[in-house]
Amino acid sequence: MPLKGGRPAIVATEIFESRDPNGRLLHHYDVGAIERITPYSVEATKERIIKMVSAVKEYAPCVMIDIGSPQGLALHQSMRTGYDRSLHRPHLYQGTGMRGELFSTFLQAYSAGRVSFQPDLPGRQALDRALVFYMGGGVEKSGVELSSEDEALVVAIGLAMIWPKHGPAASPFVIPSDTVSSDADHQG
């Protein structure tokens, strides 16, 4: 949920894991959904999360909610009702002052070639733009998006990657021979 208003963002990833030749645990993230939610409400965001999670229920997906904003806290509270009890309960991320950590998690994996995107993924251009402006200070004046909406996309992709060892066992992936970085410091 954006700190200063605007459309909330949801990013969904499938996580794969493997160990490099030195035994270090590595994760690969395949981004399969990038969405800005309209209308800009807690209820619409809750409905979309429930719909997405219910569609892949058999994989026991995890949901991370940034409760660093009043809207995020309200979203978490609203998830206590109307959420299928057979689904994994959403996790809370105390986002205040920690957004740089989320961006760093994404950037490290991306620069190591461990982030891929589904072909022709709706929302990809908006995410790329948000990442560029986030790095540049988060200020964009020429588009219709609020800077808080761009920040919400950056936070959402970070949340989709921040806790890769939780939940069901990830599928394996083949590590390219030139991969040298590790996710070991980013375990939740």
SS3 for the chain is CCCCCCCCEEEEEEEEEEECCCCCEEEEEEEEEEEECCCCCHHHHHHHHHHHHHHCHHHCCCCEEECCCHHHHHHHHHCCCCCCCCCCCCEEECCCCCHHHHHHHHHHHHHCCCEEECCCCCCHHHHHHHHHHHHCCCCCCCCCCCHHHHHHHHHHHHHCCCCCCCCCCCEECCCCCCCCCCCHHHCC
Confidence (pLDDT) at 184 = 45
Residue 89 belongs to domain spanning: 9-167
| pLDDT per residue of the chain (188 residues) written in tens, 0 to 9 | 556 667 889 999 998 888 888 888 888 999 999 999 988 888 999 999 999 998 988 888 888 888 888 888 899 999 888 777 788 788 888 866 677 788 888 999 999 899 999 999 999 999 998 888 876 554 444 455 556 778 889 889 999 988 766 556 667 676 655 444 444 444 44
Let me know if residue 181 belongs to a domain.
no
Let me know if residue 175 belongs to a domain.
no
Let me know if residue 184 belongs to a domain.
no
Q: How many domains does the chain have?
A: 1
Let me know if residue 26 belongs to a domain.
yes
pTM score over 0.75: yes
Let me know if residue 182 belongs to a domain.
no
Torsion sign, CA atoms 85, 188, 92, 56: negative
Amino acid identity of residue 141, one-letter, is K
Let me know if residue 183 belongs to a domain.
no
Q: Are 84 and 58 in contact (CB under 8 A)?
A: no
Q: What's the chain's Rg over C-alpha atoms?
A: 16
Let me know if residue 177 belongs to a domain.
no
Amino acid identity of residue 143, one-letter, is G
Measured in whole angstroms, how far is the alpha carbon of residue 50 from the centre of its chain? 16
First CA to last CA distance, the chain: 21
Q: Are 129 and 150 in contact (CB under 8 A)?
A: yes
Cα separation, 74 vs 9, whole angstroms = 15
Task: Tell the residue number behind the tokens 């160990």, with chain if given.
Answer: 19
Cα separation, 41 vs 172, whole angstroms = 37
Let me know if residue 185 belongs to a domain.
no
